[in-house]
Structure formats: C-alpha cells, structure tokens
Chain A
Amino acid sequence: MMTKSSYGLNLQDYFFIIILISNIVFVTYLGTDIYHEAVKLDIAKSNGEAFLAWAEELKRNTDKNISQEPQACLPKEILNENNTWKDCLQEIFDQKGKFHHFKNPIEEANPVVSRVCDKKVTSTKGSFIFEKININSSGIPTYAPLEDSEPLVKGLMVRLSVCDRGYYRIIIGETSL
C-alpha cells in the first residue's frame, strides 16, 4: 500500500511529476537553442538584405554614371579595369570596407563569406553564399558558385543565400551589376 502525502499524491505520482517537469525543461532547453539560432539567422538575413540594398543602389548609380565607391566593385564597362569578385569582396568586407562590421552570426570565428554551404566544412555555417546566375537557352536559370576569379561585368547576376545551422541555403535575394 502506497503512502499518500497531504496533497493526495503517492511516490509514483511524484516520480511522474518529476518526469513531466524534466520533459518540459528539456523541450524548453532545445527550443531556446533553436530560437537563438533562428535569431542569429535573422541577423544574417538582415545583413544580407543590407548588402542587396547596397548592391541595388550601386547599380542604379553606375547606370546613371554617378561615380561610386568602392571602385573594386564596379564592372569593367564602367571602370575599364578588370575587377574580380575577390577584389570586390575584399574591399567591402575589409576593415575599412562598407560592411566591415559584418560577422558570422552563428560562429564569430567562421568566415563571413563561403564558396558553398557544405556539411563537411563546418565553418561554412552562418556564412554568406554568393552564386552566379546563368540563364540557359530555354530560359531556365541555373546557379553555380561565384568563383573568386569571376570578372565583374555589367549584367552579372548574383544570388545571395545564407548557410543555416543544418547546412541548408536560405535564399535572401538576387541582384545584378
């Protein structure tokens, strides 16, 4: 015969309540972790949106022949110089660059920009992924990693994504030079 407490609960009931509370605590712990990751991802998204807004402005101004900085990001048709994608990235994410304050929101030590979102390379988590958009003959867009050596030419179409904690690309948007 089990003894009951003043609340009418026996030992089994207390054990069950402990399990129930542990479950809630565990789910809350996991949920908090997921929430923090989602918030970090939101930061990455808003950073990406800021980049796209800047790229759009750059394009608008170069179209109007208004001089723009940094020159490393201007296409060959405007500058008459062969800038590459790497030049532009270095310039804008440099210590004096427009987006120098951008950090990888998931892991600060990880790079801000990666070539691909790869599960095997854990440092790609939280970084920006830039892809070159090619439209094939039937009008269907195809996407390939934007290589460092890619020359900046007018009309170069770029898709920006962020690599999430599960190593999946979350598309932020597209822009062109």
Chain B
Amino acid sequence: MNFMILNIRQLNLKVRKFIYNKFFNPDIKNNYYHLIDKAITSLIILNLFGMLIETVPAIYNLHKSSFHLFDQISILVFTVEYILRIYVVPEDLNFSNKKNPRITYFFSPFALIDLFAILPFYLGTFVDIDLRILRALRLLRLFKLFRTVAPAMKEFNQLNHGASFRKKLYLIVNESEQKNKLHEIFDFFIILWVIISVVCVVLESISSFAYYFSTIFSVIDTIAVGIFSTEYLIRLYSCVENPKYQHWFKGRLGTAKQGSNIIDLLSILPFFLETLLGHLFDLRFLRVFRLMRLLKLMRYSDATKALISSAKKEWPVMKASLFIMLLLVLLSACLGYVFEHEAQPDKFENIPQSVYWAVITLASVGYGDIVPVTPMGRFITIILALVGIGIFAIPAAVLSSSLGEQIRVGREKVLNDLYSMLSDGVLSDEERQLIDVEAKKFKISKEEVEQLIDRAKIERQKRESDQNRERLLLEILNLSKKGQLDFERCSQDPLFATEQFKITLSQLQQILKVSNTEKISFILEDKNNSTPTQLKVAKILMDKP
C-alpha cells in the first residue's frame, strides 16, 4: 500500500514537472511556453472584439448561440490555464522556496487577475446578476495581458536601472542596439492598432457595415487616436535623447519634420479637425486620410526602409529619368495635339487633355478611349510606345539594382561581424541574437545565416592554420640561420616537424640544383661512401630513375 502511494506521488511529481517545463517554464528553449503565451494573448484580444461586436443587436441577436459558445470556450481555456498554473506552481523557482507555494501564488497579483477573469462567468451561472454588469466584468480579462507585459517591464527596468524617465520612454518607442522586449511589445501594439483602425476605415466604406457598426467604429477610432496621439507626444518629448536632436526646441522641431512623424501627425489630425470643425466646414473627405495610418507601418518595415534608402541613394539617376519622362510626355502631348486636334477636336481639345493620352500610351496602359486617327498621330504613338518601355524601365532597373547592392553589402557586413565574433572560436547566444537581428534587417534567411556561419568558421580555421604555419616557418628560419635544429620540438610538435622536414627537403633540392649532379651521383653510388637510402633520396630529388 505504501509502495503504491509512493509511486503515485512520484508520478504526480513527474507529471507536474513535465507540464511546467513543457508549457509554463520561460527559461527552457523550444518548449510551448511562447506558443501558449501567444495563444492566450490572441484569445484575450478576440474576447475584446467579441465584446465589442456583441453590442450590435442586429448581429448579436442573429448569432447569440455562437457568441455564447465562444465565451464558454474562452472561459474553459482560461480555467484550465488557471488550474494548471496553480497545480505546477511548486516547480516555479519564484514560489518553490515559500512555505506554501500554492497559497502564496493564489494571492499573487497574476493569479488574482486570472481568477477575476473567470469568476464573473461562474458567478453569473450560480447567482442572478445583471447581464450588463457581467459584460462589464468580462473586461477584466484584458488584465491578463499584464502577464506578457510585466516580465518585459521588469527586464527593461533592470537593463535601464538609473536611466532617466525620458530616456526610458525613448528606449521604449525607438529601436536601439539593446535587445528590448518592451519595445517589441510596444511596436506590436502600435502595429495591431494600425491594422485594426485601417480595417475599420475600409469596412466603414461599405454602407451595410457603416450602418450597423457606426458606434463601434467611432469607439475604435477614438481609442486609436488616443493611442496614436500618445505615441506621437512620447516620440516628440523623448527625441532629445537622440544625440542628433539634443536641442530642446530645434531637436523636437527636427523630429516633427521627419517623414514618419509627419505621417503620425496626419493620421490623428482628421479626428480632431472633423470633431472640432465638422459643424463649420465639410470635412468628411478627411476621413479618407485616416488611411494614412497604414503608412505608419513603414517605420516597422525594414524592406520599406531599404527601398526608401535605395531611392534616396539613386535619386540623381531617378531624377534624370523622371525629367526625361516629363519632357517626353510634354513633347508627345504637344505633337499629339498638333497632329490630332483637327481630326478629333473633342479628344485632343488642348495640350493638357493630350497629356492624358501621352501618359497612358507612354506607360503602355492603352485604355483605348483616345486613339490617334491621322497617319502622323499614329507614327508618334508608335515612337512613344517604343520609347515608353525603356523610359519606364529605367527607374525600376535602378531601384532593383540598388536594392540588390544593399542586400549584398548587408551580407558582407553580417559575414564580417561573424568573423569578428568568431575570433574567440565561439559564437555566444548574445552574438547569435545580434547576428539574427542583422540577418532579419538584410532579409537573410535562417538557412543562409547557418551557411554564412559555416563559411565563416571554415575560413577562420583556414586563416588560423595559415597564421600558425607562418609563425612556425619564421621560427625554423631563425633557427636555421643560427645553424640549429630543434629536435626536441620536432619530437613533440608534428606540425613543426613537418615544416622542418619541408624546409630541409627544399634545402637539399637547392644543394642539388647548384651542384654537379652527375658527380654527386657518381660519389654516392660508391657503397662505402653512402647508404642505399641516401642514394635513393638523391635520385628522387634529381628526378633520376
């Protein structure tokens, strides 16, 4: 009986350890911790959307059972998570040293948040509570997100202990060399809200969506503006931490004038203008400018940054090709007007109208709404179409080659970094993380990174062996200058012995080269004067059979 109890206890410990390590231990690599974390976060966000959509009676009444099912599934997942966390808590190093780990954990802030997230549902099942209060209490689920944010905040504070409040804000909103989880969460949050608000703007243009969801859209838009305006203010306030923008006013003005910050401002401005001045002017068109929020994503896309930097780099060439394009458009529009105006006065009424035809023809679009009818007009069109292919291809070719060059330079940089990191022969975890960040920046895949690491390792080994060989040669040459041979070293170091052997051999070859080989052969063939091995070696060196 005791043996059985012991076995069950051992099994329980094993299962607990297994569950903790597999699903809840953040310190183990390649377990399901991050997956679970992301899944729970996604479920919380879905819950938020569910709660918002539920407020639309037209949809809620139609899909009441689906909403209820989703709510029950969410509660089931959160409950299982809560129970499992309490079950495995003795394995957690933060609680295992406590007298009663489970009770300590139960009263910890995270556990209380988890409990409050599920409690309203069970309370509503057993106690008669107003549905509206229950719905409001469901918002408590959002607090579960703190489980993701809190460790990142702790890590951030540890890394930046002693840094000023403004510096900390700067590090949260801007990319830095420091690996910063809180910055990643901030970026993710902004990207998420950009996507949500843009999707809402697009859906709002569908009349049926606008009709049923107008209230939700207005709530989402207000929240988005609140978030984006806060982000904008933080960026402006903290920018002086950037050495380039240190002056309190000029620095901020310079930051505000940056393209990405102008986009940030334009993405929030329509809300304020429309709300404050909407009753005075017709500002509905400003709503379309909310789509500018999509441009905010440029800040987070390395590919877009690379494209912009390529365009900047190649701007003189692009400018020249744009100038030629403009010249060609105007010239062909003039010629089109001259030759076609009389035949088609309605279509080639004036030069600005002919510009439309010239651009459509030059860009090889050819809608066919305006077609030349005179022989000269057709001739011009042929020339225009042929030249257009080349002219439009120039900027594309310039951009693509510049992008290719940028990627090549990036690869070289990653390779050089790898060489310097491998100087000690080891690639540490931090070094690997830095390389991964660089590789991501230059669009190098994981497989390619592995290949580059292998290449760097092989080249490093080769370089190292070359350096060793050079050092040995120098040593041997110094010894031979003194007329010495280090037999002790030869017996201990095969590499040294090999190099010594090669040098001795080449010295023998040189002796034979400058001597009369026939006479040497004659002398060596005398058995009293040499051993058979000496004769054999001499013959090999003289290339004699």
Instruction: Return the contact of B165 from the options A13, A34, A39, A41 (Cβ within 8 A).
Output: A13
Q: Chain A contacts of B282 at CB under 8 A?
A: 119
Q: Chain B 208-243, CB within 8 Å of chain A: the 1/0 string?
A: 001100110011011101100110011001000000
A-B contact pairs, 23 of them (CB 8 A): A7-B165, A12-B166, A13-B164, A16-B166, A16-B237, A20-B230, A20-B234, A23-B226, A23-B233, A24-B226, A24-B230, A27-B271, A30-B222, A30-B272, A31-B218, A31-B222, A34-B221, A34-B222, A39-B215, A45-B211, A165-B278, A165-B279, A172-B211
Given A31-B225, A35-B215: 10 more A-B contacts, CB < 8 Å: A7-B165, A20-B233, A20-B234, A23-B230, A27-B225, A33-B275, A34-B222, A41-B214, A166-B278, A166-B284
Distance of A3 from chain B, by nearest CB (Å): 13
Cβ B222 vs Cβ A170 within 8 A = no
Q: Chain B contacts of A16 at CB under 8 A?
A: 166, 233, 237
Given known A13-B165, A20-B233, A27-B229, contact A38–B215 (CB-CB < 8 A): yes
Cβ B218 vs Cβ A35 within 8 A = yes
Q: Chain B contacts of A172 at CB under 8 A?
A: 211
Q: Chain B 147-182, CB within 8 Å of chain A: the 1/0 string?
A: 000000000000000001110000000000000000
Cβ A31 vs Cβ B166 within 8 A = no
Cβ B233 vs Cβ A19 within 8 A = yes
Q: How many residues of A contact B (CB 8 A)?
A: 30
Distance of B372 from chain A, by nearest CB (Å): 32
Distance of A30 from chain B, by nearest CB (Å): 5
Cβ B164 vs Cβ A28 within 8 A = no
Cβ B218 vs Cβ A30 within 8 A = no
Residues 403 to 459 of chain B near chain A (Cβ within 8 Å):
none
Cβ B233 vs Cβ A38 within 8 A = no
The verdict on B207 contacting chain A, using a C-beta distance below 8 Å, is yes
The verdict on A9 contacting chain B, using a C-beta distance below 8 Å, is yes
Overall SS of chain B's interface: helix
Q: Chain A 150-177, CB within 8 Å of chain B: the 1/0 string?
A: 0000000000000001101011100000
The verdict on A8 contacting chain B, using a C-beta distance below 8 Å, is yes
Closest partner residue, chain B, to A45 (CB atom): B211
The verdict on A77 contacting chain B, using a C-beta distance below 8 Å, is no
Cβ A38 vs Cβ B165 within 8 A = no
Overall SS of chain A's interface: helix
How many angstroms from the CA of A28 to the CA of B226 in the assembled complex?
A: 8
Chain A contact residues, CB within 8 Å of chain B: 7-10, 12-13, 16, 19-20, 23-24, 27-28, 30-31, 33-35, 38-39, 41-42, 45, 119, 165-166, 168, 170-172
How many angstroms from the CA of A35 to the CA of B214 in the assembled complex?
A: 9
How many angstroms from the CA of A165 to the CA of B284 in the assembled complex?
A: 12
Q: Chain B contacts of A7 at CB under 8 A?
A: 165
Q: Chain A contacts of B226 at CB under 8 A?
A: 23-24, 27-28, 31
Q: Chain B contacts of A8 at CB under 8 A?
A: 164-165
Distance of B31 from chain A, by nearest CB (Å): 37
The 10 A-B pairs at the shortest CB distance, nearest first, are namely: A31-B222, A38-B215, A27-B226, A13-B165, A34-B218, A30-B275, A38-B218, A16-B237, A9-B165, A38-B214
Distance of B496 from chain A, by nearest CB (Å): 62
Q: Chain B contacts of A28 at CB under 8 A?
A: 222, 226
Q: Chain A contacts of B279 at CB under 8 A?
A: 165-166
Given known A13-B166, A30-B222, contact A170–B211 (CB-CB < 8 A): yes
Distance of A141 from chain B, by nearest CB (Å): 15
Cβ A42 vs Cβ B215 within 8 A = yes
Distance of A164 from chain B, by nearest CB (Å): 9
Closest partner residue, chain A, to B165 (CB atom): A13
Closest partner residue, chain A, to B276 (CB atom): A30
